[in-house]
Structure 1
Amino acid sequence: MTEPAGPVPSAVALELPAVLSALAECCGFGGSVALALALEPAGSAVDVERLQEETAEAVAVLAKVPGLACSGPEEIEPVLERARIGAVLDQAELLQLRGSISAFHRFGRALAECGQAPDLARRAGRIDPLQSLAGAIDRVIDQHGRVRDQASDELASLRAQIRVRRADLETGFGKLVARLGPQGVLSEAIFTVRGGRYVIPLRRESQRQVPGVVHDLSASGATAYVEPLDMVETNNQLRSLQSGARSEERRVLARLSERVRESADALAANWRLASALDLILARGKLALLQQAVRPGIVDSNRFDLKAARHPLLRDEAVPIDVRLGEREGFRALVITGSNAGGKTVALKTVGLLHLMAACGLQLPAAPGSVVTVFDRVFADIGDQQSITQNLSTFSSHMRSLADALRRAGPRSLVLADEIGAGTDPAEGAALAAAIIDELTGRGTAVVATTHFGDLKHYAISHARSQTASVEFDPETLLPKYRLHIGVAGSSHALEIARRSGIPASVCDRASSGIASEQRDLDALLSDMRRQREESAMARSEADAARREAQSQLAGTEREIAERQRRFEDELSRQRAASRRLLREMEALARRQARAAAGGNLESVRGIAREARRRQAEHDEVSAPAQPADSTPRLRRAPRASAKPGDRVELVGHQQSGRILSVHRGGAEFLVVVGGLRQRVPADAILRVTGRGPDAPTSRRPPRTPTNPVPYRVDLHGVFPDNAGVEVDRHLDRAIAMNRRSVVLVHGLGSGALRDAVRGHLRNHPLVKDYAMGPPSEGGDGVTVVDLR
């Protein structure tokens, strides 16, 4: 995908190798590290989509199993190559292969079992566990790299004999040292080993007292290490057994090396597969480290990078929005602005993020970012002056651009830093404009930076081009590094010169020498920047207001939905109660019919009384519908004018309610709706549909004639603290049934329940008056209530 642009390849100019080094640091072992450092961008959209899907799966896996990697295996190809040519592998090499087999198997199993990456799991399932080879190595080599005694019967026998001979020698030498020690002939009262043979340290002057073979002398020459003659045969036997054991070990290792040779291809395939899978996980790790996102891949010559960050700047990167393409209305983007303002960083960000996406890496950008797969990327960035090739800065840039002009096509991207610089400004600007015009005419995407005023005019006036500028703070004279498309920026050369220490007189003289047209252009650009900043601030304020309004609307909708839910729950409860009452009444009617048929008039009267009692105690309470000719016309009224007794229509309720009391200075009302008492804010009252009894008589709607039969309630067993709730419930029922009075039976007792009931009735909005019951009705154990 990348092409050389002059002497520096585009990938190098855009710093892709530095990103690949960061990727290599996320790898688990040498195989994937080598792949990471050699990674090249894919050349087709299909391949890039496949790579991006792999990386997305890796991110999902790492979210469930953080730190998953293929760690542990060392480079095995040299070992396999030795096995292929018939070499006998030593214990360390075999143990290295055994570790790789285990590492590959664990890695593959972890990927297969994580459940987050079906494609990676399928590929991991192709890792050969090589259980037979692993078992063979385990039977021969222990965890410390030593050949086991049980590797063969012959080796086990030889090592057993070695242990016996060694024990014989140590016993014999122990006795010899014990005998010679008191004689003063030993340098030390020990025995040791020289050249694989047991010896004793004799003083040189006492050497003749112990006949034997001298195997070594100390550095000072004062001590001779002598093998006594009577121990030579036993030492010979030990050496012979050790030689036989080594020969048997080599035979065992040769047989095992042959097993490795037979499995060399499978081991190499495991290495390659594990390397590829670990590289995919490394791409996922890098994405998490960079807080990157999966980009969209489009099959057209355009891109749209949102809040893109240069990955090598880490936390210092300032996000930029940059876009280009036919859909955006232009093929060339000319970036302008001050020196050190971020033009080159923006240029590199565009190129580097495209190369990263083509390598299967997610991008440090915001969701919704879109890139394309360019067949070639040409990057002319930096000073490529070459003394050896007799190239000036301008000549080196021209050679790079000439290469792009020769080979760039409609699926190519050309990045040119300070295009046309290094020569006469007028000629350089004209040449740069001609190059951009030629490339965009082919459909090539072009991003360039410049300080040339004439090139800014070109970008503004040509349909296939667009300007952009890096933001500069005129107050602090410091760059802000943000990129704004559609605005041409000033170079701010004089401001930067003043900040850098150039005398003010020199800067003033330079300013006076600038053509008026240039000053007018700079002033226009400044006005445009100021207008853009004001527009951005206005948009920000509008967005904030819109979000606040949306938040309030959502809160209101939630409140309405909650009230509607409560109403529907209460309605369901009342309907269920109505159905129960209906079934009870039907059962009582059948009983009454049977009693009447039997001539039992007293039973009939009892059933009738029971029916009336159950009707009175029925939980479903709703205000009777008013006749059509007496229904008041709905009218809006100030909520502040609502008073106890008024009928009102509420938000989210299909039934009207009645105000029981006013609270918090009219901010809240206690309302009964369908028998359910609830506090509602003043905003919940839509309108007053009927006035209460304290409103003027002329405005009170006609009422249904009241029932003269009193509503009798037995409060025995009610705790005084709950008396108010029970009284309110029954008063509401009586009002709904058009009863004029209520008889509350509370008994005498200690008087606590009576006092609680009468204290609650005092100043009650529904109570006209109340008094002690007559002696025939229970006297002071009863309270008779007259309703309004």
Structure 2
Amino acid sequence: MNERILRVLEFHKIIDQLVAHAATSIGKDYAANLKPSSNIQQVIQLQKETDEAAQIIRLNKTIPLGGITDIRPSIKRSEIGGTLSTTECLDVANTIYGGRQVKTFVENLEEDLPIFKELVSAIIPLRDLEIQIKSCIDDHGYVMDSASQKLRGLRSTIRTLEARVREKLENYTRTNSKMLSDSIVTIRNDRYVLPVKQEYRGSIGGIVHDQSASGQTLFMEPKAVVDLNNQLQETVLNEKQEIDRILKELSEQIALEADALNDNVRILAQIDFMHARALLGNQMKAVKPEMNDEGIIQMKQARHPLISMDEVVPNDIEIGKEYTSIVITGPNTGGKTVTLKMVGLCTLMAQAGLRVPALDGCRLAVFDEVFADIGDEQSIEQNLSTFSSHMTNIVEIMKQVDHKSLVLFDELGSGTDPGEGAALAMSILDEVIAREARVIATTHYPELKAYGYNRENVINASVEFDVESLQPTYRLLIGVPGRSNAFEISKRLGLDSSIIERAKGLIGLDSKNVENMIASLEESQLSAERDYQRAHEVLMESESIREELEKEWKQIQNKREEIYKRAEDKAEKAINKAKEEAEAIVEQVKQMKTNVDIKEHEWIDAKKRLEGAMPKLASTQKPKQVKTSSEKNDLKPGDEIKLLSVNQKGEVIKEINEKEYLVQVGIMKLKVKRDEVQLLGKPKQSYEKPITTIKGSNYHVSTELDLRGERYEDALLKLEKYIDDSLLAGYPQVSIIHGKGTGALRKGVQDFVKKHPNIASSRTGENGEGGSGVTVIKFK
């Protein structure tokens, strides 16, 4: 872009604000050099970068950019063999640390930020170099004793020598205080000295290093400490040489990582630059524009970026679809020039990757060039009048303008004869429009008010003026040319009505007709805006009612969920209580089973207690069953079922009638209806031999247990339960089918049988009983 255009549209003021938002010196350099791009792909990429940074700001998170400095000059010096200072080395370490912090911060963000995450993935941590520098130099830039063993030793020697020198000199201050101007030990030329009175110079003896302004005090180094001071100075020199060696070594290590460090600095500068663009947009309450290369500009409630939000009047602007040119007419100080600058500056900002102050959904075009002839650039040195200055700019614009240009003309054709100026303005507009450029022009000439009605792709606009208050409203009215308002203003200011009427008679009929037409258009525009405002208010009220209804519905849903939750909690407590009672009953039954003489009434009483332990829950919704005609009486004794009310498996004992069945669930027998159970499967044939079923003591259990295919632990658990059930059923003997296999399961069964107190004996099955694959048990 032409530097003059950037200056005229005050783009540099936007850059100043952007620089202020950058956190690092390298980020500020990037911001200061920002220029609009005419490459649409590059502009789209810049806008994506800014948008990602804006997402981080919306999360109320701050990128940790502290401690990062521009270390590129230091890196360059290290590469050519220079020795860096402690401050420079520390800046390198801090920048490495800052880069690692930024990398961790971005990687931990859950948002989808592909650009940021790709950038930080290229940051090289360089942890070893940072540790090496920090182990030698503290946060204040001081080389620590731990930097090397030699340095530690030298500094220990320095402290010892200093102590000895001070001790000797302090002896002088105590024994010869009358010879001293002050009883202190001080330093001159890096050597410890005493302030000796002039008349005692010979008495003290030694080397004079300085004297006071009056000459009455000499700063002398007594002979007794000369050698110690010499040793001290030599050691200090050695210390400096060791520090230089350490810094040289660190500089060499930095030079080895020069490429990685430069890459890190570049990435961190880019991240800071992106973040600064997002911060500026956030400050302006700006939005991401949708970019196009079709010359289309559509902005709703757009604001001039450099005018305070408390003062600026937002306006809608559209160009490039139905029309390519806008001619704005209206009085001075009405906001025409501000509108021109707003469109131009927003376009430049968007092409530089910055957000624009408007409502969401705005569209802006990428132009190869933005041309502007705004303001009076009259030059005394060049002997140019206002008209000549404008025409000089316009001549240069006409040499370059094409279909990829945005052209802004302020007061086109002004500064010369009105008739000629108007004709020239229309001719210039015709030429620019013919080249398919996008044009916005302001003018005072009444001839241009009719221009938009006689040309394709051109529309009139004006800035509104309030005749009652005699003040501009700064509102832009698209489609309505501006009125002069001269008669109305004069009348409001008190000019005699007869003079105004006489003036009206002097203007031509055409002018009257144009003014009447403009007045009608203004009234229509205002009426349409009032209707729109009323419709918008109704829409907002409807939205508010809808949101309120949604809120109430959500509260109802939450309340219903809460009721369900309370019901579930109550049911769970009832079930848990039932389980506890059932476990107590089972435990009692286990104790009772050891007694052979169980009384019938005790057994019946325990069974009733177990049935009574089941919770009586009122189900709010019965489980849905898809019934078919074949399912009406589909349950048979032995079928495996699930009792839906407690979600437990069981077995059908018998059919009571067409609707009710007696089922066994665990050790409980229950009478249930057909829709309270779900059929899981028919009984399996577990062995070649028919299984006989014996019912003893009203308890139903098979006389055989098939353990084949079971895991060892599961098999023993099933065996233990089966033995208990068989004892309760009153069987004299049962058969355990374990198969032959490896013999592990058979041995486990036989070991269990031997230890059981209620088993009298056991034997291997005979040929007709399954042979060694079966163990027959007899109970006591």
TM-score (normalizing by structure 2) = 0.69
| Paired position in structure 2 for 1:36 | 31
> 1:151 Cα shift?
2.1
Check whether the contact 1:69–1:281 (CA below 8 A) recurs between aligned residues. Answer: no
| Paired position in structure 2 for 1:26 | 21
Q: What is the Cα-based RMSD across aligned positions, in Å?
A: 3.9
1:134 is the counterpart of 2:124? no
1:204 is the counterpart of 2:198? yes
> 1:575 Cα shift?
7.3
Provide, for residues 508-548 of structure 1, a one-character-per-residue CA deviation record: whole Å limited to 9, x for no partner. Answer: 88666544432332232122212221232233334444665
Taking the TM superposition and a 5 Å limit, the aligned residue runs for 1:448-487 are 448-487=441-480
> 1:260 Cα shift?
2.3
| Paired position in structure 2 for 1:158 | 154
Between the aligned partners of 2:107 and 2:116, the Cα distance in structure 1 is 8
Task: State the secondary structure of the residue aligned to 2:214.
Answer: coil
Task: State the secondary structure of the residue aligned to 1:466.
Answer: strand
> 1:361 Cα shift?
0.9
1:307 is the counterpart of 2:301? yes
Counterpart code for 2:342: T
Counterpart code for 2:143: V
> 1:564 Cα shift?
13
> 1:200 Cα shift?
1.6
Change over 3 Å in CA distance of 1:139–1:573 after alignment to 2? closer
Of 423, 430, 433 in structure 2, the residue corresponding to residue 440 of structure 1 is 433
Range that drifts further, 286-295 or 139-148: 139-148
| Paired position in structure 1 for 2:180 | 186
> 1:563 Cα shift?
12
Provide, for residues 671-692 of structure 1, a one-character-per-residue CA deviation record: whole Å limited to 9, x for no partner. Answer: xxxxxxxxxxxxxxxxxxxxxx
Taking the TM superposition and a 5 Å limit, the aligned residue runs for 1:247-646 are 247-315=241-309, 316-325=311-320, 327=321, 329-493=322-486, 513-545=506-538, 576=622, 591=656
Task: State the secondary structure of the residue aligned to 1:165.
Answer: helix
Counterpart code for 2:622: A
| Paired position in structure 1 for 2:144 | 148
Check whether the contact 1:27–1:69 (CA below 8 A) recurs between aligned residues. Answer: no
| Paired position in structure 2 for 1:106 | 101
> 1:73 Cα shift?
3.0
Counterpart code for 2:425: A
> 1:594 Cα shift?
12
Check whether the contact 1:477–1:495 (CA below 8 A) recurs between aligned residues. Answer: no
Provide, for residues 195-227 of structure 1, a one-character-per-residue CA deviation record: whole Å limited to 9, x for no partner. Answer: 122222221112222221212111221111221
Change over 3 Å in CA distance of 1:126–1:574 after alignment to 2? closer
Between the aligned partners of 2:30 and 2:324, the Cα distance in structure 1 is 35
| Paired position in structure 1 for 2:593 | none
Check whether the contact 2:56–2:62 (CA below 8 A) recurs between aligned residues. Answer: no
Range that drifts further, 51-60 or 82-91: 82-91
Provide, for residues 329-356 of structure 1, a one-character-per-residue CA deviation record: whole Å limited to 9, x for no partner. Answer: 2111111122111111111111111111
Between the aligned partners of 2:165 and 2:559, the Cα distance in structure 1 is 99
| Paired position in structure 1 for 2:723 | none
> 1:86 Cα shift?
2.2
1:119 is the counterpart of 2:112? no
Range that drifts further, 255-264 or 525-534: 255-264
Task: State the secondary structure of the residue aligned to 1:353.
Answer: helix
Between the aligned partners of 2:455 and 2:144, the Cα distance in structure 1 is 82
Change over 3 Å in CA distance of 1:167–1:331 after alignment to 2? same
Task: State the secondary structure of the residue aligned to 1:418.
Answer: coil
| Paired position in structure 2 for 1:3 | 2
Between the aligned partners of 1:505 and 1:115, the Cα distance in structure 2 is 76
Change over 3 Å in CA distance of 1:510–1:114 after alignment to 2? farther
Between the aligned partners of 1:393 and 1:192, the Cα distance in structure 2 is 75
Change over 3 Å in CA distance of 1:126–1:494 after alignment to 2? farther
Between the aligned partners of 1:90 and 1:560, the Cα distance in structure 2 is 69
Change over 3 Å in CA distance of 1:259–1:453 after alignment to 2? same
Of 233, 241, 245 in structure 2, the residue corresponding to residue 239 of structure 1 is 233
Check whether the contact 1:337–1:492 (CA below 8 A) recurs between aligned residues. Answer: no
| Paired position in structure 2 for 1:682 | none
Task: State the secondary structure of the residue aligned to 2:622.
Answer: helix
Q: How many residues get paired?
A: 589
Taking the TM superposition and a 5 Å limit, the aligned residue runs for 1:747-758 are none
Change over 3 Å in CA distance of 1:593–1:73 after alignment to 2? closer
Provide, for residues 523-582 of structure 1, a one-character-per-residue CA deviation record: whole Å limited to 9, x for no partner. Answer: 321222122212322333344446656877998999999999999x99x988739989x9
Between the aligned partners of 1:246 and 1:386, the Cα distance in structure 2 is 63
> 1:503 Cα shift?
9.9
| Paired position in structure 1 for 2:9 | 14
Change over 3 Å in CA distance of 1:106–1:494 after alignment to 2? farther
Check whether the contact 2:64–2:105 (CA below 8 A) recurs between aligned residues. Answer: no
Check whether the contact 1:339–1:491 (CA below 8 A) recurs between aligned residues. Answer: no
1:55 is the counterpart of 2:54? no
| Paired position in structure 1 for 2:690 | none
Change over 3 Å in CA distance of 1:592–1:105 after alignment to 2? closer
Check whether the contact 2:180–2:197 (CA below 8 A) recurs between aligned residues. Answer: yes
Of 50, 73, 82 in structure 2, the residue corresponding to residue 78 of structure 1 is 73
Provide, for residues 614-633 of structure 1, a one-character-per-residue CA deviation record: whole Å limited to 9, x for no partner. Answer: xxxxxxxxxxxxxxxxxxxx
Check whether the contact 1:29–1:74 (CA below 8 A) recurs between aligned residues. Answer: yes
Range that drifts further, 101-110 or 65-74: 65-74
Range that drifts further, 443-452 or 530-539: 530-539
Check whether the contact 1:305–1:365 (CA below 8 A) recurs between aligned residues. Answer: yes
Of 162, 168, 185 in structure 1, the residue corresponding to residue 164 of structure 2 is 168
Task: State the secondary structure of the residue aligned to 1:140.
Answer: coil
Counterpart code for 1:166: E
Task: State the secondary structure of the residue aligned to 1:517.
Answer: helix
1:217 is the counterpart of 2:218? no
In structure 1, the gaps of 5 or more residues are 596-606, 612-788
Change over 3 Å in CA distance of 1:390–1:188 after alignment to 2? same
Task: State the secondary structure of the residue aligned to 1:447.
Answer: strand
Check whether the contact 2:38–2:366 (CA below 8 A) recurs between aligned residues. Answer: yes
Between the aligned partners of 1:526 and 1:261, the Cα distance in structure 2 is 76
Provide, for residues 90-133 of structure 1, a one-character-per-residue CA deviation record: whole Å limited to 9, x for no partner. Answer: 22222222222222332233223223322112102212222232
Counterpart code for 2:133: I
TM-score (normalizing by structure 1) = 0.68
Between the aligned partners of 1:135 and 1:563, the Cα distance in structure 2 is 60
Task: State the secondary structure of the residue aligned to 1:89.
Answer: coil
Provide, for residues 472-507 of structure 1, a one-character-per-residue CA deviation record: whole Å limited to 9, x for no partner. Answer: 112111111111211111133565678899999998
Task: State the secondary structure of the residue aligned to 1:122.
Answer: helix
> 1:410 Cα shift?
1.1
Check whether the contact 2:327–2:441 (CA below 8 A) recurs between aligned residues. Answer: yes
> 1:378 Cα shift?
0.5
Check whether the contact 1:89–1:254 (CA below 8 A) recurs between aligned residues. Answer: yes
Change over 3 Å in CA distance of 1:554–1:438 after alignment to 2? same
> 1:188 Cα shift?
1.5
Counterpart code for 2:68: P
> 1:65 Cα shift?
4.2
Change over 3 Å in CA distance of 1:51–1:507 after alignment to 2? farther
Check whether the contact 2:64–2:101 (CA below 8 A) recurs between aligned residues. Answer: no
Between the aligned partners of 2:317 and 2:619, the Cα distance in structure 1 is 60
